């Protein structure tokens, strides 16, 4: 009985970790772009959706070209490389183009206006994606199928892809942490978050640093989409869902805090996974309750120090 209760929790923990991974990739980008560049981008989550759509195309193409010639493991490796390199690269290019054309004019605006202008951007992006990929659900299950599944303690089957995605995200998290804490560029970025004029005076090209942070943020969201889609599907209209989740990570974790984004993702992931298992009536509201609760108890978020 007790053993059964414990084995029941294993898939829930794995579900929570994978959900947290996607949320981390989604929320961290939003958080660092707002925290360090002071750009509040409501459309940030649309890059995850775009990443998922592009990933589905990339996967289909790779399977079409290499599906018959390569063995299982060879195909899997190519697919993962496609998801981890080609997808972020394409999104980075799209993101940079958008940065040059439509985000640049709104950098100087107040937060409220940035929110509203980027709300307009998300509407445009959604219809743009619908134009390319249609309104029907799009999938890319090949990577997950190739990886297969394992038998958990207690006999239940569990797919390996979410576990793989979780491990991959941990690696990305560590690299990010190293980047911001240990590298020169990371330190400059952190300094810029405090005062970019002073950094500018020292002769550093702040615009370049700015672009680098922006691209890192967008790329993380794209990776989130690429890891998400092999296990699910993407449909037009889901972007707004991710907008809410991204902002939940932002306010729960605190602005511009990597630690905060990790904590918030885990908190949301576990609350949602266990909450919707044990109290399914609350599934629709869980994220919002969590958001309101954290804001009321600690307005700056779990790890934020910027005053509300």
Partner 1 sequence: MLSRSVTSIRPDGDIVKRGVPPAESRVDRRTFLKGAGAATIAASFAGCNNPAGDGDDSSVEAGGDIPTEPLEMATVAFTSGSASVFGTPMMQSARMVVDKINEAGGILGEREISLDEYDENTEEVAQLYRRLATQDDYDIIIGFVSSANALTVGPIAEELQQPTIIWDTGTTELFDDAVTDPQYLFRTCASSSTDAVGAALVLENALTDIETVAGVNQDYAYGRNNWNLFSQAVEAFDIDVDIVEARFPPFGNEDFSSTVSALNDSNPDFIFSSLWGGDLVNFMTQANDRGLFDDTLPCFSGGTHIFRDAPDQVPDGLLFGARGPHVPYGGFGWNSLHDNFVSSFESRYGESPYAHGAFHAWQGIYAYVNAIENAFNASGVYPDNDALVKSLEGLGFDTPSGFLNIPEGSHNAIEPSFWGLSDSSGENLALTDSIWIAKEQVNPPVEQTTEEWLGNI
Partner 2 sequence: MSQDTKTELRGVIRQRVTTLPGLATAAFVMLALSFPYLPSTGQFEVFLVAQIFAFAIAAVAFNVLLGYTGLLSFGHAAFFGGAAYAVGFVLRYTAISELFILLPIGIVTAAALAVVIGYISVRYTEVYYSLLMLALSFLIYVLMVKLYTITGGTDGLPISAPTVGGVDYVALWGYSGFLQGILYYVIAISFLISIGLMWIFMNSPFGLTLKTIRDNPERARAIGIPVIKYRWYATIVSGVFTGVGGVMYAVLNSHITPDTVLHWSRSGEFAFMAVLGGVGSFVGPIAGAGAFIMIRSQAQQLTEYWHFVMGAALFLIIVLEPAGIAGIAKRSYRKATESIRGDD
Query: What residues make contact with partner 1 under the rule CB under 8 A?
Result: 8, 11-12, 15, 18-19, 127, 130, 134-139, 141, 144-145, 149, 156-159, 161-162, 228, 231-238, 241-242, 272-277, 280, 283-284
For residue 171, what are its two tokens?
Answer: 């690696």
305: which DSSP letter? -
Reduced to 3 states, what is the DSSP secondary structure of residue 91?
Answer: helix
Q: Pull the structure tokens for residue 289.
A: 């309750």
Of the pair 110, 195, the CB lying nearest partner 2 is at: 110
Minimum CB distance to partner 1 smaller for 232 or for 295 = 232
- Alpha carbon of residue 301 to chain centroid: 19
Among residues 215, 237, 206, the alpha carbon closest in space to that of 126 is found at 237
Gap between the Cα atoms of 295 and 301, Å rounded? 6
128 is in the binding site of which of partner 1, partner 2, none (Cβ under 5 to 8 A by kind)?
Answer: partner 2
161 binds, among partner 2, partner 1, none (CB under 5 to 8 A by kind): partner 1
Give the whole-angstrom CA distance, residue 66 versus residue 5: 44
Strands (E), the chain: 138-139, 149-151, 157-159, 233-234
Binding to partner 2 by CB under 8 A, coded x per residue (else -) over 37-56, reads: ---x----------------
Distance between CA atoms of residues 181 and 185, nearest Å: 9
- The helix (run of H) or strand (run of E) holding residue 166 is helix 160-182
Is 3 or 284 the residue whose CB approaches partner 2 more closely? 284
Give, as ranges, the residues between 260 and 299 that touch partner 2 (CB under 8 A): 281, 284-285, 288-289, 291-292, 295-296, 299
Q: Which of the choices partner 2, partner 1, none does residue 137 contact, using the CB cut-off of 5 to 8 A by kind?
A: partner 1
When asked if residue 190 is in the footprint of partner 2 (CB under 8 A), the reply is no
Interaction site with partner 2 (CB under 8 A): 40, 102, 105-106, 109, 111-113, 115-117, 119-128, 130-131, 240, 244, 247, 251, 281, 284-285, 288-289, 291-292, 295-296, 299, 308
């Amino acid at each position: 009985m007790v053993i059964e209760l414990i084995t029941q929790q294993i898939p829930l923990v794995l579900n929570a970790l994978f959900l947290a991974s996607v949320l981390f990739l989604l929320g961290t980008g939003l958080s660092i772009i707002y925290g360090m560049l002071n750009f509040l981008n409501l459309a940030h989550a649309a890059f995850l959706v775009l990443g998922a759509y592009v990933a589905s195309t990339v996967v289909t193409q790779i399977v079409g070209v290499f599906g018959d010639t390569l063995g299982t493991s060879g195909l899997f490796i190519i697919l993962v490389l496609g998801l981890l390199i080609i997808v972020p690269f394409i999104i980075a290019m799209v993101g940079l183009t958008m940065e040059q054309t439509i985000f640049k004019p709104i950098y100087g605006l107040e937060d409220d206006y940035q929110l509203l202008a980027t709300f307009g951007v998300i509407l445009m992006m959604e219809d743009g994606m619908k134009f390319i990929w249609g309104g029907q659900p799009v999938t890319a299950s090949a990577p997950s199928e190739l990886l297969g599944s394992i038998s958990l303690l207690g006999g239940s089957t569990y797919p390996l892809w979410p576990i793989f995605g979780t491990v991959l995200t941990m690696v990305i998290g560590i690299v990010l942490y190293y980047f911001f804490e240990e590298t020169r560029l990371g330190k400059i970025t952190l300094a810029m978050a405090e005062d970019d004029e002073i950094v500018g005076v020292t002769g550093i090209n702040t615009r370049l640093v700015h672009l680098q942070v922006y691209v890192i943020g967008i790329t993380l969201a794209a990776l989130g989409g690429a890891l998400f889609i092999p296990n699910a599907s993407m449909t037009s209209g889901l972007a707004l869902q991710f907008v809410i989740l991204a902002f939940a990570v932002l306010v729960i974790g605190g602005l511009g805090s990597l630690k905060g984004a990790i904590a918030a993702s885990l908190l949301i992931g576990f609350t949602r996974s266990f909450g919707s298992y044990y109290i399914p009536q609350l599934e629709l509201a869980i994220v919002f309750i969590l958001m309101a609760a954290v804001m009321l108890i600690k307005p700056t978020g779990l790890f934020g120090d910027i005053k509300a």
